[in-house]
Amino acid sequence: MGGGDRGEELCEALRDCRGRGASVRIVGSGSKSFLTAAAASRTPDPPALSTTDHSGVLDYRPEELVITARAGTPLREVERQLAEADQQLPFEPPRFHGGGTLGGAVACGLSGPGRPWRGSVRDAVLGVELCNGLGERLRFGGQVMKNVAGYDVSRLQVGAFGTLGLLLAISVKVLPRPAAQETRTFEVDAGAALELCRRWAARPYPITATCFLGGLLRVRLAGAEPALRAAATALGGDRERNDGFWDELRDQRLSFFAEPGLWRGSLPPAAAAPLDGCLVTWGGGERWWRPPDPAAAAALLAAHGGHGRPFDDSFGLRVGRYVPAVERHYGDRLRRAFDPDGVLNPDLSVGQPTARARRDAD
C-alpha cells in the first residue's frame, strides 16, 4: 500500500503551534498552490506543514464502491488503484501538472467536467478523519453511502481549504468506469450550444459532460455500447476522434487556460450571460472567461443568478469576499468552533475574514 502514518505527528504539530500562539500553512503536493500564491508575498508567512508523508490507501474493496486513503496520498496513486478494478473517482478532480493529493482535492473542492451528472467532490465524500485547530484527532461520517448520524462535518470540509481542520484521511464514493465512451461534436455558436444543452438536459440521454469552446460543442456520452449508438443517433453531430480532450479539459491543459485574467463563474445552466468568449461546461452551469471589465464581472454574474471569482493566485485566498455578509458572520463563528486560536491557514478566508485580519483587529 505504501506511504506512512504521520497522523499523530501532524496533530502534535498543531497542538505545539497552538501552545506557542503560532499557526501553520497546510500544504499537500503543492499542485494547487498557484490558487493561494498571493499570500506568499505577505510576511511573516506561517511555516508550511506538509501532509505528503501521511499517505497510503487504507481500505479499498471495489464491491463497496468506496476508497479510504490518507490525505497525502497522490491522486495518481488513488486513480491507479481504482483503474485496476475498472473504477474511477466520479468527481474527476483536476491534476494540475500531473500532481495533487486526495486531501488537496477535497480541501479545494474543484469538481471536473462531469459534475452535473456524476456529482461533485462533496457529493462523493462519505467520511473524514481530521485534526481540528485544538489538535484533536476526530472522525466524522464513515465508509457507507447512507449515514445521518450527527452533523455532516465530512462534506463541510470540501472547499474549506483546510481552515476547519487538517484532513488526515478521507473516504470517498467511487463509480464503475463506463463500458464505453464516445464524444459527439457540433459546430454551433454559443447561443445555439446553450440551447442544445438545455434541450438535452430535459431528456434522459447518457450524457456525462459537455464543453463549448470556440464554435465547437462537445458532448461526452458513456454507457453500454448499444445505448451509446442510440444516443449518438438521437443527438446527431460528428464523432470526435481525440479521446484525450476531456482529460485536457479536466487538468486545464487546453491552451485556453494558459493566458492570465481568467475567471470562473458558476451559473444557472440556462443563464444568458456571460457567454461571449466563454468556455462553457456543466451543460451551461460553469463558465470560464476573461472579462473585459473585471470590476463589473461579479455584478454581471450576480445579475444572472450566479457567482464567480478570478481563477488566479487569490482564488482560494479571499473567498470570503464573495460571500454575503450574513453568511460570513456564521462562517466566522463556524471557523472559531473548529479552530478558536487561528492555527490553521490563517491567511485564507473561506467564509469569513482571515484569522490574521481577526488577530490584527483584536
Partner 1 sequence: MTSESEARRARVESLLRDALPAASVIVDARARKAFESDGLTAIRELPWIVALPETEAQVLEVLRICREFEVPVVPRGAGTGLSGGARPLAHGLLLGLSKLSAILEVDVANGVARVQPGVRNLAISEAAADHGLYYAPDPSSQIACSIGGNVAENSGGVHCLKYGLTVHNVLGVRLITFEGDVLNLGGKTFDSPGYDLLALTMGSEGMLGVVTEVTVRLLPAPPEKRVLLAAFPEVAAAADAVGAIIAAGLIPAGLEMMDAPAIRAAEDFVHAGYPTDAEAILLCELDGVAEEVEADLARVRRVLQAHGAGEVRVAVSAADQARLWLGRKSAFPAVGRISPDYYCMDGTIPRAHLADVLARIGRLAEDHGLAVANVFHAGDGNLHPLILYDANVPGELERAESLGARILELCVAVGGTVTGEHGVGIEKLDQMCAQFDDAALAQMHRLKAAFDPAGLMNPGKAVPTLSRCAEVGGMHVHGGRLPFPNLPRF
Give the nearer residue to partner 1 in terms of CB position, either 218 or 309: 309
331 binds partner 1 (CB under 8 A): yes
Q: Which residue type, as a one-letter code, is found at position 201? A: A
Q: Taking CB under 8 A as the rule, does residue 330 contact partner 1? A: yes
Binding part of the chain for partner 1, among 4-12, 31-39, 185-193, 220-228 by CB under 8 A, reads 220-228
Strands 66-70 and 57-61: what pairing? antiparallel
Residue 102 as a binder of partner 1 (CB under 8 A): the answer is no
Burial (Cβ within 10 Å: 0-12, 13-18, ≥19) of residue 257: middle
Q: Residue 136 Cβ, how far from partner 1 at the closest point, in Å?
A: 5
Size of the site for partner 1 (CB under 8 A): 89
Among positions 2, 20, 41, 204, the unique one binding partner 1 when judged by CB under 8 A: 204
Q: Give the one residue of 44, 149, 241, 293 binding partner 1; rule: CB under 8 A.
A: 149
Residue 159 lies near partner 1 (rule: CB under 8 A): yes
Binding test (CB under 8 A) with partner 1, winner from 40, 198, 242, 294: 198
DSSP state of 24: B
- DSSP-derived letter for residue 282 is G
Instruction: Specify the residue, 74 or 115, whose C-beta has the smaller distance to partner 1.
Output: 115
CB of 274 to partner 1, least distance (A): 14
Q: Which residue has the cell 442510440?
A: 230
Closer residue to partner 1 (CB): 74 or 335: 335
Does residue 122 belong to the site contacting partner 1 (CB under 8 A)? yes
**150/317 Cα distance (integer angstroms):** 30
- Give the one residue of 4, 47, 292, 305 binding partner 1; rule: CB under 8 A: 305
Cα 228 from chain centre? 28
Amino acid making up residue 339: D
Binding of residue 166 to partner 1 (CB under 8 A): no
Residue (145 or 192) nearer to partner 1, CB:
145
Figure out which of the listed residues 15, 37, 64, 185 binds partner 1, where binding follows CB under 8 A: 64
Amino acid residing at 99: G
353 counts as binding partner 1 under rule CB under 8 A = no
Residue 29 has φ and ψ, to the nearest 5°, of -75, -15
Burial profile 175-200: b = 16 or more Cβ within 10 angstroms, e = fewer: beebeebbbbbbebebeebbebbeeb
Q: Which parts of 241-270 interact with partner 1 (CB under 8 A)?
A: 266-270
Q: Which is nearer to partner 1, 54 or 328 (CB)?
A: 328
The minimum distance between CB 210 and partner 1, in angstroms, equals: 13
- Judged by CB under 8 A, does residue 227 bind partner 1? yes
Respond yes or no on whether the N-terminal peptide bond of residue 274 is cis (omega within 30° of 0). yes
* Cβ proximity of 151 and 182 under 8 Å: no
Interface of this chain with partner 1, residues 174 to 193, rule: CB under 8 A = 175-177, 179
Q: How far is the CB of 331 from partner 1 (least distance, A)?
A: 5
**Helices marked H in the chain — which ranges?**
7-20, 75-84, 102-108, 115-118, 121-124, 153-156, 190-201, 225-235, 245-250, 294-303, 325-338, 355-361
Going by their DSSP bridges, the two strands 180-187 and 175-176 should be labelled as: unpaired
Contacting range for partner 1; rule: CB under 8 A; set: 13-21, 119-127, 182-190, 244-252 = 119-127
Residues 321, 343: Cα–Cα separation, whole Å: 21
